[in-house]
Amino acid sequence: MTALGLALLLCYLLGSLPTAYFLVKWAKGIDIRTVGSGNVGATNALRTVGLWAGLVVLVGDVLKGVIAAGMVPRWMLGTTALGVRLACGLAAVLGHDFSCFLRFRGGKGVATTIGVFLGAAPLVAGMICAVWVLVFIAFRYVSLGSLVAAVAMPISQVVLRHSGGEILVGSCLAGLLIARHRSNIQRLLGGVEHRAWSRKGN
């Protein structure tokens, strides 16, 4: 296997570490996949255990992306090329979404994707986080903020004049995030999506 292949494999395994699963199992003795939304992520950890758990999972999932995109390429490949960084980040997000430790189930990859851009392209990370915050404040839907932020990813890359290959990887990250929100899209269209600070929805 080539050095790049090994780096991608390492990033996939790093992303596969199910932060929310481990924390909720430790804190409550339950499988997070069987409660709440069933999602292995920060939002479900927050609803299942509490604010502190959501924050810990959020930080852990972001760090997976930061390490994969910001550190692994430099350590293993001796490169800071943005395309390589994004490819390693994509491998980590795939690991998070389809964890080999959870029979290829996982989360939706929002926090890890943000971590990827924090490690590889901080300006893009800032833009998409700003979009998420604005949409969330306006509509109070976590999922809608994530979906609009996903659309903003490749647009931000175009604005910042990233190369075609870099935008392609960014588009893959955005498409993966949108695909992982299929059920949320259905609930949004049906008017039954969970809204922050509301008891309606699920």
pLDDT for residue 200: 46
Number of independent structural domains in the chain: 1
Give residue-wise pLDDT tens across range 78-118.
999 999 999 999 999 999 999 999 999 999 999 999 999 99
Within a domain: residue 198?
Answer: no
pLDDT for residue 198: 64
Structure tokens at 194: 């969970």
Expressed as residue numbers, the domain containing 44 is 3-190
Q: Where are the beta strands (DSSP E) in 47-180?
A: none
Give residue-wise pLDDT tens across range 36-89.
888 999 989 998 999 999 999 999 999 999 999 999 999 999 999 999 999 999
Q: Are 119 and 65 in contact (CB under 8 A)?
A: yes
Within a domain: residue 13?
Answer: yes
Q: Which residue in this structure is represented by tokens 């949004």?
A: 188
Q: Choose among 195, 42, 187: nearest CA to 115.
A: 42
